[in-house]
Each structure stands twice: as C-alpha cells, then as structure tokens.
Amino acid sequence: MITFKINDKEVQGEEGQYLIQVAEKYGIEIPTLCHHKALDPAGMCRICTVELFDGRRTKFVTACNYPIWEGMEIKTETEAVHQGRKLIVEMLYARCPEVPLLKKLAQQYKIETPRFKKEDDDCILCGLCVRMCERMGNSAINFTGRGINLRIDTSLGLQSDVCMACGACASVCPTGHITLEKIKKKFTKQNPFMIPSEYEMGLKGRKPVYVPYAQAVPNTPAIDRDVCMHFKTGGCGVCSDICQMDAIDYTMKDEIIELDAGAVILSPGFKPFDPSKFDNYGYANHPNVMTAMEFERILSASGPTSGHLVRMSDHKEPKKIAWFQCVGSRDMNKCDNKYCSSVCCMYALKEAVIAKEHAGDKLDCTIFYMDMRTHGKDFERYYNRAQDQGVRFVRSRVHTVEPLHDSDDLRITYVTDGGKKVDEIFDMIILSIGLEISPEVVDMAKKLGIELTDGNFAKTSTFKPVETSRKGIFVAGAFQGPKDIPQAVVDSSAAAGEAGAILAESRNTITKIPEIVPETNIIGDRPRIGVFICKCGTNIAGVVNVPEVRDYAATLPFVEYYSDNLYSCSQDTQTTMTQIIKANKLNRIVVAACTPKTHEPLFQETLINAGLNKYLFEMTNIRNHASWVHKDAPALATQKAKDLVRMAVAKVALMEPLKETELQVNQVAMVIGGGISGLSSAKTLAQQGYEVHVVEKDSVLGGQANHLYHTYKDENISVELASLIKDVKSNKNICLHLNTTLENVQGFVGNFKSELLDNHKVSKTLEHGVAIIATGARAFKPEEYLYGKDERIITSLDLDKKFLSKDASLKSIGSAVFIQCVGSREPNRPYCSRVCCTHSIDNALELKKINPEMDIFILYRDIRTYGEREYKYQQAREAGIIFIRYDLDHKPEVDIKNGKIFITVTDHVLGRPILIEADLLTLATAIVPNKDEKLANFFKVPLNEDGFFVERHAKLGPSEFATDGVFLCGLAHYPKPIDEAIAHGQAAASRAVTLLAKETVHTSGNVASVNSMACSSCGVCISICPYSAPSFATQGRFEGRAEINPVLCKGCGLCVASCRSGAIHLKGFDTNQIFAQIFAMNEAV
C-alpha cells in the first residue's frame, strides 16, 4: 500500500497503479481525453497534467501514466495546472472547432474563440482507436504520416482485410471522427453489421456481452462466442480485466449433462412466423411493414423507441396503421400453416387499442381480417370496446402492398364485402404473424419418438390433453397447439400435475433439510444495528459515493457495525455477514442495496443463519431508486442514499422479532362438481396420494359430457367418460358424495369445515385443507327461432342425443340448417361460448356421413375454429357445406308455413335475402354459468358480470382464486371444450398439490394485530377488510372486541389506518416505524 497526498488529502493506492486510478477511487476528477481503463495509458492528450511536489521542487506530470510513489504530493487544481489545460483545450478546439466535446470543454475553460487558426479536423489524435484496435488483436489501423500530416488510417490507406469491422475503435472515439459508416467505407473490406437484439426483434443492436433483457432470470450476462472478438483473434479480454469478481472464463465449454428423470415435460414454445417469404407484403424490403412482434417492442416503454409510437423509416408519428390478420395462418397456398394461430386476433386488437392510447384518438387503426376470433374469457367485451373506441374492422384479405415513390407510405388494394375494389394509403402496416413450430423442435420430437400432428404440434388426445404419444413425456404450451397465455399456464400446471402423479411415490426422496440455527432472544436488548452498504459492482458505487455513505451510517444512533460490500448478495458475502452478525452481537440489520422485492428473502435467510429473527431487518433501495435513476447527479444521489439509510436505521431500531404462525394443512381435498373437469381433478389428486371427496348435486357423474356425442378428433365421448368414471370409482383415495349439496363452509386455507347435505336430508361435516370449485355450466334454452314450437327445431345437444341414440330419422333429412351464436355474443350476454362453431361443423360433417346428399347450411357471424380445429372447417367446406354469414342487425328469421320450416337470411355476398327450407334446424346455443352466489359467498370468491367465477389472475392464475386454498376449473371458469376442461381440472389439482405437499403453511409475520384493551368494538375493521381477517371475539375476556386471524391477514394495513382507537398494529409497518422514517427524513446531517 502506498500512501501519498492529493490536494492535501491523504490517499492510498496499490503498488504499480497510476495516479489517475487512485484519484478516480477517491472521486477526484482529473480531465482526460485519451485515457481508457481497458487500455494502457499513452499520455497523448496531456489534459490530465497535474502538479507534483517531490519534496524538493514541483513539476508537471500526466496523471494517466505516472506511477504513484510513497510520500508524493499532488495538486490537481492549481492555477498553473488550469492554465496548462486551458492552452491544450484551446489548441484542440482550434483544430476541431465543430466537435461537441471540445465545444463543451472550451466553454468550461471560458474560451470564446481560439487564438489559433481554425481548422476543420475532427480527430484529436488521442490514439484510443489505435490502442483499442491493437487490443482487439487486429492492429488494422495506426498512425500514418508525419508532423502535421499525422492521421489515423489503415495500412496504405486501403480498405483492409485485417479490419473485421468490430467497431471497437468507433466505440472509444471521443470526437466522432471514427464512425461505423467510416469503417464501412474506408477501413474494412467486410460488411459491418449490427448484432441484432433478439429481445428487441432486431430493431435494435446489442453487444457481444449481453443480458438478453432487463428482467431475464438469471440476470447474468453471457458472451456471444460467434461475434466476440476474443474468440476470433484471441485479443480483447477487456471484460475479464474489468470484472472485479473474476467471473469470466473464456475456456468454458458446452457441457453435456445427464439427468435421471422419471418424467419429461416439453415446453419448447413456438417460433413467430417469418413473413419475408411473402414478397407481396414487402416485409423484407420496407421498414414500415413490420410484424406484430416488432410492433410490440415499439409500443413498449423499454423498447427501441422508449414507447414512442413512430414508424421506422423516418421516425414520423403514424396517422394510419393497418393490421393484416392470418399472415402465416389459415393459409394453404403460400405457406403450409393450415391451422389458425388462435392468438393473433386478440393481440392485434390489443395493439390497436394501445396504439390509440399512445398516439391519441385520432390515430386511424384498421384491422383487415377473415373472421374475428375473440373466443377467450372477456375477449369479446374487449372486441366490442375496441369497436366503440373507433378501431376499424374490414373483413377482407389484402393482396398486395405497394410502396409509394414520393414518400414512405404504403398503398394497399382490397375488395370490400360488397365486392368493391378500394385503394387506401397507410403509414404503417403490421403483419399479424402466426405461431409455428421451429424445425429444431420437430427434430427434437423425432429424437424423442413422439408423434406430431399435421401442423407439427405434439399429438395429444382429448382425454389426455397434456400427454404425448410416449408414456412419461408430457407437453405444455404452444407446442401442444397454438394458444394464449392463460391456456398455456393451465397446460403447464396440468403437465406438472400429471408428471407428479406418476412420480408420487418418490416425492421428497431427494430433499435436503437445512440445519436450523436456534434463534437468539433479543427482547429487551438495546439495539445493535449493523449497516451493510452494497456497491453492486459499479452499479451503485459508480454514482453514489459508497465510502461516504458508509462512514455516514457510522454516525447514526445505535449503529455498532458498518461496512461496504462489492456484491452483498454473493454467497461469500452472505457467509461473512453471518459471521459479522454473530461476532458483533448485532440484533438489527440494514442492507442498503437493490430492491427488497427480489432480495429481501435472501438477506432474511442470512439473518436466520446468524440466529436472528428474520424481521429484525430493513432493506433500503439505493440502486433502483438512487444510483440508476440519478446517474448525472452523483452528489445528490449520495445525499439521497444517506437519507434513505438514515430512514432505514430509524425504522429498524423499532423492529421486533415477529412470529410466523405455523399451520397444519389438512391433507384432504374437496372437489365440488362431478363433471368431467372435477373428476379429472379428483383423479389427479388421488393419484398423487391425497384423499379426495367429490360432491355432486346430481345422481350421476359426468355432467354435461353425458350429453355429448364425439370430439372433433372423432373420439367417442361416452366410452372415454365411462373409463374416467370407472377410474374414479375404483380409486380408494376418492370418496363420492352423490345427490349432495354444500350447505355451509367455515374456516380458511388448510382447515376448512364444510357441511354436506344429501337427498335424505342427512348432513355431515367434511374437514378438508383445500377446495376445488368445478360446478360447471349449462346449455342455454333459447326463446327465439321458434325453439320449442316444432320438434325439428332443436339445440346442438339435442342433435348429439339423436346421434347417440342412432336416430333413424336423420337419414331422411334432405336439408339441415345450423344457426350459430344463439344466446352468445348478444348485448345481454357479451361473450363467445367458444365451443359451438367446432361443434356445429363437426355435427354437420356427421350428418354428411349419414347422408352425403344432404344440403347443409351453417349461418354464422364469425367462424371460430381456433387452432387445429380449423382443419374441420376446411373439411366442411370441401364437403360442400354452405356457410352464410349474418350480422347481429340482420339475424336469420325462422318461419313455419304449411308444416315446413323456412329460414330467411341475407347473404353477405349477394346482399339479398335468401330463403332456405329446412328439415332440421339446429341452434348452437350458448353455455351459461350457474351463477352460484351462495357458493361464491362460502369461499369469498368473486363472480363476474356474466356469472362465471373470477380467477386469481386472468393470465397467470387461471386455476386458482385469490382466496388461498380455493381452486377452480372447467366451465365454471368459462366455456371450454373437453380437452381444455380436463387440462383445467388437472391444473387445479396440481395447484392444490403445491399447497397440500407443504403440509404446513407459514403465515407472514407482517400482519395486523389488535390491542384488545384499546378496541372500542366499532367494527370498522371488520367491514373494511377485503380478506375477512378481523372478527368479533366470541368468547373470553375480550368478547365482542375485534380480533384478527393472522392466517387470513395479508398485511395491507387498511384496518390499521381505519381504526379510530389506534388499537390495531401492523407488525413490520407499524405506525411508530413509519413515523420514525418520517422523522428521520429531515434530520440535520
């Protein structure tokens, strides 16, 4: 260690360091133009000159390449130093008067016009580029010429083979003399290219060392070996030099790891369709034709335009945007994707609505589509809303996009419904590209020996929706078929449940139990606070002066220990922290680092390992809330960090050890509803080894599936349903309660008590840990289209019954008509029933099988045969089934005249009403929910406007409720076909197992509690709590006063703020703690 003085302040540095490095460490600013920490110093610009006193006399040295020695004295800001720097700046400014950097410096040194003759150069000959190129292992450029002709160039001034166009020289050039354009034109023979950022869909570049995206897990950078210069030349290695943790190892090789697994789940996902092969859309050649995935990035606040809606060619804000649906889907001519990609209608709608939100209502958004497929939960409402907001919908497939010559706009030509040809000009075109399976995944499937469908998706059966053709291999997500997020989440839970079922025996066999450190009792002890300030590499230390904050922390009350860490979250720091806590007998800990949302549990773990209660901890965020967001104001950021640390110290001093209540989870599940979804759920739970009680109000199992004939994959439903019922009945873990209703439910997660009543009015109590709601839905009974007036006018389920009973009368039918959306997508029922299009098409084809001569008409609004159901639609058209579209304002009319059924419908092509005589009219009726408010009340779970249950999260929590321990599946959630209902049942079971398998649940310590002495029994807390945690005590000394169930409490603090008596305390966020933070805010520093 070498000790010397800078500006009379004692500083220390390592042997061999240069002066500038030590100055930087102490935050002393020395200007430089030619220094770069990755490169050897060269002393080119001389701006870093400082005054050195060596004990006898002063001299001037350049800080960047002057090695430090013991006892030297440095002055960085004397008048002489300043004058010298000013002269250098003046000369450089004269040489390069247009360079922004020098303009700024000149201003700083108060030089208005240089005394020297102005030139028009932009190179200051700092040599950074030359040194950088050498470091890259190339030396493609160097200084050439002599004296005033000195310049940077390649050998002989020719475009060089040596230059690999890596761009490192341009990245260090301080003046903009070297640009990528110049490298391309002057330096290299190669074609420089941007490394496309995969996350930004290639709209932006990325570096060879990169983190794929900000929220990536793990958030560790990777080196792209294909583009990294080190792997090309052996040079560079800058990242390795800079990394303070020595984490970079260029010799790492790809490894093949062998795992023993009892089950495999495939979830490789999809590849967005690449539309470059369609030259008619001009995607490959025109920047303003982009894919919907690219447009997502444009709309994103973290995207390449920071969420500013502009088009790529000229960064102009667009006035008119068009979406083309079905690009790479439902297309047999140009690509082989015959299926519907299921998600594109909805994402196009969403993008149009968000684009309008960004750019204002005037933005013209037009969606060109074939059928609008908004068959998901609440999607139809979104579609209606988009129409109200002025998104334009045109039912037409656009053939060609033609770029205009005099602008970057695009002209399209399309044919309207009425057959009119229209020309329209748009600023941007978004291609709603489909989902497809990549060739690599197809290869993988071949290797694994699993069967694929025509669309290259993993083949599954309706009754085993997540099982591939090979036993033990399961599938989840878009590889099973194109689907949206909630469906993919359902699948993944289901696949985990099914894999868990075959592995149930080996559960917990390779679990390691951590050693439990006994907790030190600190009650009554004076606070001994330990403060740890994290540098987070340079993430924090690069802006906030960490040593200063650390030293400041030392002055705060009760602080007994303080230190800074390079990375507080690293494993070795955790170990050191544990030792420090023990050695210094610390009893409160503050960590000033990143966000508690991700790292609090980690540090709490450290506290536990050190024998401290994990609530004796406070974390304050000086990274996300200070260094990262105030990088241009280091002094103020440091001040803010100090304030935050002071506030945290004030709060932590008041922390008390909190107890987490441990609660046994009753290992019994109750499934309400014995339909196909509930039964699947029960089966999965039973296979995982849990006792299951199925409560069914009816006398038979199977629910609506009993009325169905076959699936769209031609599987016989009654056979498969019988087999499922047999499995359920023969499983000794399953107890069936038929003809039974639920009368009351008490308790909470892990400990429910339900009262069951059977048809003999015998009531019994069932104790269970979890509940699954699978109460299903029913078919809508229509009042329109003369239903019930004639036995030839029936519903889809009635037709299935005829098929099931092999009704001979079907053979004699000459003409059959189906009317779609009966009771669905109506103003009073604004949702799509999801299954009816496929069902009617399937039944129509069945009729064709019975009598190929039959005339069949399907009257529809939009055909919604999503995914590979689309094949059925194609098959139906090929079979001669006639599809006639109608709209809500012109619904078909049904008449009976002279004993004959007549249907009038306005044909969308001819625009004229046509009359069809039908021997059979089938109404595709809606699926309507049971709207069971009583049940909803029992479990405190919500119903939506339509009467379906509302899940925890529309996308990420489709199989559970916000209420802990209560799960949901099947039609009670939303209309769905059998395969999805079964997967949903399995998923709900799987989610329930995650709770059951824990056997105990820990409540959080951050819960509210009542000081009964102060409670005035006003009941405000009871009425205000969204989780029903408070109640009046029914017995004991404080009968009638409020008490709070810590199990139900989510720690929101609503009751605390509302308590007029100040009787409620929220542990961890108590009133005195928040006051302490407020008081600490403005304490004198």
Partner 1 sequence: MGNLLEHMGIERDRINFSWISSAEATKFVEVVKEISNKVRALGPNKKLVKDYN
Partner 2 sequence: MDEKNIKIVAFLCNWCSYGAADLAGVSRMQYPTDIRVIRIPCTGRLSPKFVLSAFREGADAIWVSG
Chain residues that interact with partner 1, rule: CB under 8 A: 301-302, 306-307, 629
Q: Does 193 bind partner 2 (CB under 8 A)?
A: no
Which segment (66-74, 83-91, 183-191, 1049-1057) binds partner 2 by CB under 8 A? 1049-1057
What sign does the CA torsion over 588, 594, 600, 604 have?
negative
Show Cβ contacts of residue 964 under 8 Å, excluding neighbours closer than 6 positions: 748, 749, 995, 1001
Show Cβ contacts of residue 632 under 8 Å, excluding neighbours closer than 6 positions: none
Which segment (817-825, 955-963, 988-996, 1067-1075) binds partner 2 by CB under 8 A? 1067-1075
Given partner 2, partner 1, none, residue 307, with its beta carbon under 5 to 8 Å by kind, binds partner 1
Among 404, 633, 719, 954, the residue binding partner 2 under the rule CB under 8 A is 633
Q: Does 644 bind partner 2 (CB under 8 A)?
A: yes
Give the shortest CB-309-to-partner 2 separation in angstroms: 18
d(C-alpha 859, C-alpha 496), whole Å:
41
Q: Does 1053 bind partner 2 (CB under 8 A)?
A: yes
Neighbours of 244 (CB within 10 A): 12
d(C-alpha 998, C-alpha 125), whole Å:
67
Among 632, 791, 878, 889, the residue binding partner 2 under the rule CB under 8 A is 632
Give the shortest CB-777-to-partner 1 separation in angstroms: 32
H or E element, residue 21: helix 19-25
Among 477, 486, 776, 1051, the residue binding partner 2 under the rule CB under 8 A is 1051
Among 12, 302, 521, 744, the residue binding partner 2 under the rule CB under 8 A is 302
Among 158, 636, 700, 1014, the residue binding partner 2 under the rule CB under 8 A is 636
Taking CB under 8 A as the rule, which mask of x and - marks residues 257-296 in contact with partner 2? ----------------------------------------
Q: Does 1030 bind partner 2 (CB under 8 A)?
A: no
Q: Does 568 bind partner 2 (CB under 8 A)?
A: no
Span 736-765, contacts to partner 2 by CB under 8 A: none
Between residues 287 and 307, which has the closer beta carbon with respect to partner 1? 307
Give the shortest CB-207-to-partner 2 separation in angstroms: 15
Give the shortest CB-211-to-partner 2 separation in angstroms: 11
CA dihedral 784, 787, 788, 791 (to 10 degrees): 160
Q: Does 925 bind partner 2 (CB under 8 A)?
A: no
d(C-alpha 628, C-alpha 543), whole Å:
8
Give the shortest CB-305-to-partner 1 separation in angstroms: 12
Between residues 918 and 1049, which has the closer beta carbon with respect to partner 2? 1049
Q: Does 624 bind partner 2 (CB under 8 A)?
A: yes
Q: Does 1003 bind partner 2 (CB under 8 A)?
A: no
Which segment (421-429, 637-645, 946-954, 955-963) binds partner 2 by CB under 8 A? 637-645
Buried b (16+ CB within 10 A) or exposed e, 56-84: eeeeebbbbbbebeeebebbbeeeebeeb
Reported for 962-965, long-range contacts at CB under 8 A and 24+ positions apart, including other chains, are 963/749, 963/939, 964/748, 964/749, 964/995, 964/1001, 965/748, 965/749, 965/750, 965/752, 965/769, 965/770, 965/771, 965/995
Q: Does 658 bind partner 2 (CB under 8 A)?
A: no
User: How is the chain split among helix, strand and coil, in percent rounded to 5?
Assistant: 30, 25, 45
Q: Does 1071 bind partner 2 (CB under 8 A)?
A: yes
Residue 573 backbone phi and psi in degrees, to 5: -65, -40
Q: Where would I find the beta strands (DSSP E) of 132-274?
A: 141-144, 151-154, 209-210, 222-223, 264-266, 271-272
Given partner 1, partner 2, none, residue 775, with its beta carbon under 5 to 8 Å by kind, binds none
Dump the DSSP string for 687-718: HTT-EEEEE-SSSSSBGGGGG--B-TT--BHH
Q: Does 640 bind partner 2 (CB under 8 A)?
A: yes
Span 597-616, contacts to partner 2 by CB under 8 A: 597
Among 902, 1032, 1038, 1069, the residue binding partner 2 under the rule CB under 8 A is 1069
Q: Does 1066 bind partner 2 (CB under 8 A)?
A: yes
Q: Does 954 bind partner 2 (CB under 8 A)?
A: no
Q: Does 1085 bind partner 2 (CB under 8 A)?
A: no
The tokens of 956 are what?
A: 């990420």
Give the shortest CB-354-to-partner 2 separation in angstroms: 18
- Cα distances (Å, whole numbers) of residue 505 to 97, 265, 510, 995: 78, 18, 12, 18
218: preceding bond cis by omega (within 30 degrees):
yes
Give the shortest CB-269-to-partner 1 separation in angstroms: 22
d(C-alpha 159, C-alpha 149), whole Å:
20
- Cα distances (Å, whole numbers) of residue 452 to 455, 468, 874: 8, 9, 20
**832 Rama sector, left if φ>0, alpha if ψ -120 to 50, beta otherwise:** beta
Give the shortest CB-641-to-partner 1 separation in angstroms: 17
**Cβ(871)–Cβ(336) under 8 Å?**
no
The residue ranges that bind partner 2 (CB under 8 A) are 214-215, 301-302, 595-597, 621, 623-626, 628-633, 636-637, 639-640, 643-644, 647, 1006, 1051-1054, 1056-1058, 1066, 1069, 1071, 1074-1075, 1077-1079, 1081-1082
